[in-house]
Amino acid sequence: MSENIYKPYLMKVAEVRDETPDIKTLKLEFRDPAEAEKFSFKAGQFGLYSAFGAGESTFCIASSPTRKGYIECTFRVAGRVTSQLRDVNPGDTIGFRGPYGNTFPVEEKFTGKSITFVAGGIALPPVRCVIWNVLDMRNKFKDINIVYGAKTYQDLVYKDELQQWQDAKDINLIKTLDPGGDKAEYGCNNWDGKMGFVPTVLKESGINGKGGIAVLCGPPIMIKLSLPVLVELGFAKENIYTTLENKMKCGLGKCGRCNVGSFYVCKHGPVLTAADLETMPDEF
């Protein structure tokens, strides 16, 4: 019988982490060890995660492809499916379809260069998978800069990993909060990072973009404001990578929902460069 492309893998929830009051990370392992053996993906790809009974939702694979045997996803609780995913416990089963989409050309184009990661708020997960992919092969790259900010201290995701990156000697981490985001009511104790919006902090960072690669992800407004700053810092447009998000249902190029012009985010994306963005209709 023909293969059913809509059939998900069954995944066991191995770990649940609360990143913020409304953002969770799930660590998932394949229930079928044969499937775990065969499975592989590359940085930038995404999947459709099923909460059986509620439906499917699209998130990137937030863990690095260098780490075998499990995948991680991070999501904000925003609707029907994510509300049900919020309530899962370790041992529960959810579904996963993937990996779909194109990838960051880490081996093909990033090696030997300096990489600058820029992300805001909930947009860190798709970038985090590339960060760990790169860090797991640290000696293949030159400088690593990470510029990450959120609205308030509470909204920062992967707080322990931020600390690891801050402590590491070979990573330049610049973390920032929006003005007013360091108040005690947000759980903040002695904020030792910058204060200001990500594009502003990026501008003042002194990072030299010449010959380097930038990986940028954030809400549309942040991308809009950060792109010119990156160009100013010396990054070439074809070296600025971003990952797009659009409403998706099938992830396979069939349901007709995620296209921006003839660019299907699930097939031709989600990874694209700033040079590509310029050729697309302003329908985003």
Q: With binding defined as CB under 8 A, does residue 13 bind other proteins?
A: no
Nearer Cβ to other proteins, position 77 or 188?
77
Q: With binding defined as CB under 8 A, does residue 4 bind other proteins?
A: yes
The one segment of 65-73, 222-230, 234-242, 245-253 that binds other proteins by CB under 8 A = 245-253
Spatial neighbors of 217 by CB under 8 A, at least 6 apart, are: 118, 119, 120, 123, 124, 126, 127, 223, 242, 243
Contact 215, 109 (CB under 8 A): no
Nearer Cβ to other proteins, position 134 or 250?
250
Q: Name which of residues 175 to 234 contact other proteins (CB under 8 A).
A: 220
Among 89, 139, 190, 262, binds other proteins (CB under 8 A): 262
Q: With binding defined as CB under 8 A, does residue 250 bind other proteins?
A: yes
Cα–Cα distance, 163 to 179 (Å, whole number): 21
How many residues sit close enough to other proteins to count as binding (CB under 8 A)? Answer: 46
What is the DSSP secondary-structure string of 101-129? S----IIIIITTS-EEEEEEGGGHHHHHH
Cα–Cα distance, 263 to 261 (Å, whole number): 5
Q: With binding defined as CB under 8 A, does residue 31 bind other proteins?
A: yes
Q: With binding defined as CB under 8 A, does residue 172 bind other proteins?
A: no
Among 74, 82, 154, 226, binds other proteins (CB under 8 A): 82
- Distances in whole angstroms, Cα of residue 249 to Cα of each of 16, 258, 259, 271: 25, 8, 12, 18
Nearest-approach distance from CB 81 to other proteins, in angstroms: 9
Among 21, 32, 33, 52, binds other proteins (CB under 8 A): 52
Q: With binding defined as CB under 8 A, does residue 53 bind other proteins?
A: yes
Angle at 246 between CA 209 and CA 173, to 5 degrees: 30
